[in-house]
Amino acid sequence: MDGGRSFNVRSIERLLTLVWDSGASPVVVINKSDLCEDPEIYKSEAESVSMGVSVIISSAATGLGLDEIRTVLGKGKTGLFIGRSGVGKSALTNALMEENISETGNVRGDDRKGRHTTTSRDMFLLPWGALLIDSPGIREIQLTGDISSVAETFSDIEEAAKGCRFSDCGHDSEPGCAVQESIQAGIISEERYRAYTKHLNEVRYQQRRGDIRLENLERDKWKAIHKEYKNFTSKKGQ
């Protein structure tokens, strides 16, 4: 919340999809509240895309939110901090460890981007018996895995889709699409819907890449479409 580029609801959506796919339970931690005049604005934005996921406002400098993080990371549990460089993952680790055990760095003054201080994944035993992994900053979030992880992140869209007229609705231009109706009514934003379709397309692409049979079927389908289009245009020109 220091006015940099790290806070982005689209990035939160992508990280949530990544975590859901791993089988872990995500918690959104918005750090550096001590550098923000109105943290509640950030929290409200994060909650708008974090369906059913806890959002914690924190500050490694003042200790705000640390008790909530300790509650999430109960004894015997393992947690992992993931996020872009400069969000304060290592500073939070130090605060939870109650000692400077993980190196921290300043963000660049020109664009508020963080330098990659943490270059390896380190696991720490917290004082109350939980394990915490501090990881390097993420430059790019690539999605793989299962469609169900996308459904978890966009549960509001999935819920709206239950009202679609057709069970195989693509939520584009089909008649009776409840998702499009929700967008028109302002319940679901265009930006969130576009993020949803982008996530689906990325995961499906990665699934096809990992399955030669599906990849060949996809290629054959497009060959047939191009052939049909070529025959149509040649007949039209006669």
Alpha-carbon span 24 to 213, nearest angstrom: 30
Does some domain include residue 140? Answer: no
Domain with 43 in it: 9-134
Same domain assignment for residues 27 and 128: yes
Alpha-carbon span 46 to 35, nearest angstrom: 17
Same domain assignment for residues 53 and 122: yes
Residue 112 near residue 59, CB atoms below 8 Å: no
What value does the mean pLDDT of the chain take? 85
Helix (H) or strand (E) holding 78: strand 78-81
Same domain assignment for residues 59 and 158: no
Same domain assignment for residues 68 and 101: yes
Same domain assignment for residues 165 and 130: no
Based on its alpha-carbon atoms, the radius of gyration of the chain, rounded to whole angstroms, reads 22
SS3 state at 134: strand
Give residue-wise pLDDT tens across range 165-193: 999 899 988 899 999 999 999 999 999 99
| DSSP character string of 3-67 | SSS---HHHHHHHHHHHHHHTPPP-EEE--GGG-S-HHHHHHHHHTT-TT--EEE--TTT-TTHH
**Predicted TM-score (pTM) of this structure:** 0.74
Give residue-wise pLDDT tens across range 130-173: 999 988 777 667 777 788 999 999 999 999 999 999 998 999 88
Give residue-wise pLDDT tens across range 15-69: 999 999 989 999 999 999 999 989 999 999 999 999 989 999 999 999 999 999 9
End of a domain among 100, 134, 168? Answer: 134
Same domain assignment for residues 63 and 92: yes
Same domain assignment for residues 120 and 152: no
